[in-house]
Structure 1
Amino acid sequence: MTDNMRRSRTLNSRRSFLRKGLAVGGAGAVSAGLLANGMPAFAQEKHKGLDRGDIAILRFLAAAEIIETDLWQQYNELGGIQDSEVPGGSGNPTYTAALKNLDGDMDQYIHDNTDDEISHFRFINAFLMANGAPPVNLDRFRTLPSSKATGAQQIGRLTNLMQLTVDTSWWTRYRSSTKNPDFGDTFPQAVPDLFSGQFPAIPRNDGDLTPPKHIQAIANTAAFHFGFIEQGGTSLYPSLAQRVSNPVVLRILLSIGPTETAHFQTWHDKAGNAVTADNPLAPAPLTDPTNGLTFPDLNSPPFGGEDFQTNLIMPEPTIFLSRKFPPCSIIRPTRTFGAAMAAANALIADGLFIGQPREFFKVLRELAERADEARRQV
């Protein structure tokens, strides 16, 4: 009983912190025009029945999409297409050219991914507001510095792309036919160096634009980071969908989640072009002469073979639910226990929030904890 009373006081304290810590409404969350002109159906249908769990899941997903939007906007300012759909920045020709060594349409793909993430967080926040629930606004944490390279806006950021520790085990995880993280299995790093240090995924200033192998290594880092970010969303939506109660909220998760998978498969393909000797403009192995970061040729020993073949971009069939069943091509992981906190911790370990105050981490983990506490009500 004493433990329950303590837990109740702790939860009340945390909820009070969230109410004070996250602004309700505001231009950074969703515009009034969006609700008035873009979402009339919600106001007319007046969907009811959103329990605390559904709201907690949507709020965590809104925060995740805001974070994704912030990092993708930085990529787009320097390496994407600047237009009215994704405003801000003016482009950096040298960085863009290094990205295009991996695929001639990289700038378009970056632009479209950015546009998608913007639409996700605006939609989720609008749906929350239309149902009487508070949206998420992280604007007061936009204090991290921008890149000083030509093309970047000089505004406050939520995320850091200049000191990343990129987990590249997603590459080997999706190529394994015998292992699944839902069973506790672990996977080797495709690019070990990226996971053992801190490296920029965008030029920090114009000094990073040379020598050519340095800026190419930065572009290659970005390519693997794109895959890391989007495989997280690919798993997060089906994992949390298993805890949703309201059928409309379930529809939202089942509709947005597959777009994250579409993003991931695109970036899986482009990362493969960063680690193959077949690309004459960005051949692997590639070693950055300024810091020793090496991208191996994954088609050659000690890699090579079917598991590391760089033109594989579809999930290999693997064990699912039980080892007694035959292998199945699946998204992995999809275990729902602790899914939100695992996603938050992965973003933190990535280095995205280097420089953020302790309060930011407390807010993010609180949102994740509330989402993980949701239980499907039948």
Structure 2
Amino acid sequence: MRTGHFQETTGQLIALTDNRTVIGWTAALLIMLVLAPLLVGAYTLTLMITVLIAVVGAVGLNLLTGTTGLISLGQAGFLAVGAYGNGVLMADFGWPFWLSLPAGGILAALVSLLVGVPSLRLKGLYLAITTLAFSFIIAHVILYAEPITGGPNGVFVNGASLFGYNMQRGAPLYYLALVVCVLVVLMVLNLQRSRIGRAWLAIRDHDIAAKAMGIDLTRYKLLAFVISSFIVGLAGGLISLQIRFINIDVFALILSIEALAIIILGGLGSVAGAILGAVFLTLLPEGIRLFFNLILEPGSSFYSTYVYEIRGVAYGAVIVAFLRFKPDGLIGLWRDQKKFWSNWPLAY
């Protein structure tokens, strides 16, 4: 019976986990995800692809906001840069997707320096407003750079194939999103337990004390911006592959708000929390749709007519409820339940 978290060796200290139960459940989850295309229909598979892309974006934002403490409302802009980078390289230059997708992420990382460098002395609300302004700037640049981006006409993203498989639909796209998601999660988990991750945590908790300890704030803040934007750019590239047509309307401000809501609901600073938040908030509209299908008469158009209003009210209600009753988010709720059942029946 596991009674504590005492580590006796260096290997145990730096390992992602030394709990065999966690390793077993993680392996089981990965096996289920690999077998999912064989077990579910096309509609459910599409939902799962959307969830995986949301997880990638949420983990990237959580690295910047949750781990480093730099609040960003510019995620829609970085998603747009990654999506347009991937789409333009594929459509106009004929790049294969396995090159254009990481190139879109790299482009988003380079663009992040434009907002990261001027924002080094900003934090809190001032940084959030700066990143929001950056998102608006990116939208206008894309809109008026018509020779490159297509302007208001957008870009059609087609032709992504590998070994004869169309990588923009069904199981191939799902496995692509799954591979990217797993690699991103592993990368961030390893970064968080490295010297870089500890520096980010120190900056989040108290940047003045971190500077007094010898941590280069400029270097580590820029590194957080670059890596976070690269990951979000990958998510944008996956979005462009999934929807096949991108224009600036796809990357509205609501995406930045939803991204921030995901990591707040999941639990700031936790990769597992970001994953839970992405799954929960992405599937929330589907849960609402199923609920209204149960309570409304067949053929009723009420939900389809007011879908955006209902979704907005649901998002707001869920965020307010979690902030009021469970500020630690879903990961805090999970930890409480795990602690309760670990101590049961003496937990009362």
* Alignment TM-score, normalising by the size of structure 1: 0.24
Greater RCO (Cα-Cα under 8 Å, separation 6 or more): 2
Q: Which has the higher helix share?
A: 2
* Alignment TM-score, normalising by the size of structure 2: 0.25
